[in-house]
Amino acid sequence: MNHSFKWQGRHDGDGEAHLRLHQVVNTQQHASFAFIGFSSDEGVKRNKGRLGAADAPDMIRAQLANLPVHQPVTIADLGTVVCDNGKLEQAQAELADQVERSLKQGMKPIVLGGGHEVAFGSFSGLFQYLQNNEPDKTIGIINFDAHFDLREAEHVTSGTPFLNAARLSEQYQKTFHYLCIGVAKHSNTKVLFETADRLNCSYIYDFELQPKNVEILLEKITAFIGKVDYLYITVDLDVFSASIAPGVSAPAVKGIDLSVFDPLLEAIKETGKIKVFDVAECNPRFDLDSRTAKLAAYIIFNYIFY
């Protein structure tokens, strides 16, 4: 684990009304939330995408540091899992162990990615935790993403995490519950749709995500959530329009808007079922004015406080 990031930023005062996130991270022995970085773009490399996502965790932390604290919160930063020398599977296993450990300690892990290969590590951590503590409970995956990430490949990549999760579930005779929100027809091959259908996955197209459809969308999402005990939520930043998320491996031609995303995430959070949350595919190398890192921080801020 890498612990090199220094939480610092603007200091307006020590009173409760003046606090910013950098002033509350790692200040309490027991925390409600845990930040875990995942520094990897090995999966993106294997998937022939553009590299740079390994630099994301600290860039997101830097954007989080100055955000205001509107209500009491305790956060621990557990450091960053680093994928060295192309050892992605080892890094995913280490991330899974960190996620499981934080859950055992009563914290809600928020994982900062990194390529979307982060998803298999995050999912595996929750899966391990439940197998060891609540084996009868079920997991639902909600992935905000333009891509299914159900790709068949010889090795794990940023395009395989949910097929990897499906196979892990099958190995333990667990039903695979997966909802992908924001799927773009032009970004997924026919075989990926066939795989999604074969695995009984649920999905919502990007063109359906319009403000006028929010109530209908919430009905679909609520129906999915009703089938599971706990949720793993992952947000691939390439689901958003390239105008607000230029720094990703595969910028969206269309993408979805925050005016739809925000109420959906708020409703999902209100169920109280989220156990693990992550953001993925932030690529500082291709970002403009830190827009994508700021977007990641904004999403995390809303998850924590609203």
> Do the annotations mark residue 18 as ligand-binding?
no
Three-state SS string over the chain comes to CECCCCCCCCCCCCCHHHCEHHHCECCCCCCCEEEEEEECCHHHHHCCCCCCHHHHHHHHHHHHHCCECCCCCCEEEEEEEECCCCCHHHHHHHHHHHHHHHHHCCCEEEEEECCCCHHHHHHHHHHHHHHHHCCCCCEEEEEECCCCCCCCCCCCCCCCHHHHHHHHHHHCCCCCEEEEEEECHHHCCHHHHHHHHHCCCEEEEHHHCCHHHHHHHHHHHHHHHCCCCEEEEEEEHHHEECCCCCCCCCCECCCECHHHHHHHHHHHHHCCCEEEEEEECCCHHHCCCCHHHHHHHHHHHHHHHC
> Do the annotations mark residue 238 as ligand-binding?
yes
> Do the annotations mark residue 97 as ligand-binding?
no
> Do the annotations mark residue 287 as ligand-binding?
no
> Do the annotations mark residue 149 as ligand-binding?
yes
Residue ranges of the binding site for Mn(2+): 116, 145, 147, 149, 236, 238
Residue ranges of the binding site: 116, 145, 147, 149, 236, 238
